[in-house]
Amino acid sequence: MAATSEAKTTATEPPKIVWNEGKHRFETEDHEAFIDYKIRNNGKVMDLVHTYVPSSKRGLGLASLLCIAAFEHASSHSLSIIPSCSYVSDTFLPRNPTWKPLVHSEDLKSSI
């Protein structure tokens, strides 16, 4: 019975997001969902270029968790963010306006 309740607890915990520096992405521990980035402007800007969540895991809030991990990383490393990925610019930022101060100027986004 203890194993069953432990499994239920694990299932309700949010998945852990890890930084894969070598692949320039933040990803779930199973590597199935991720957000890719490119470092620009001599290491001062993180360009979030692509978010991917497999269809079997959509609707669980993974894309948002990936974005939060990337924005928290950028904040703690004094980086600004270019939201090139449409999920980041069109969905995540409108739903989470407190992260907007980290967004780099739109002039740079359009010139890259």
Active site (catalytic) residues: 85
- Give me the amino acid identity at 64: S
Number of H helices, E strands in the chain: 5, 5
| 32 φ/ψ angles, rounded to the nearest 5 degrees | -85, -35
The CA–CA distances, whole Å, from 32 to 17, 25, 45, 63 equal 11, 12, 25, 11
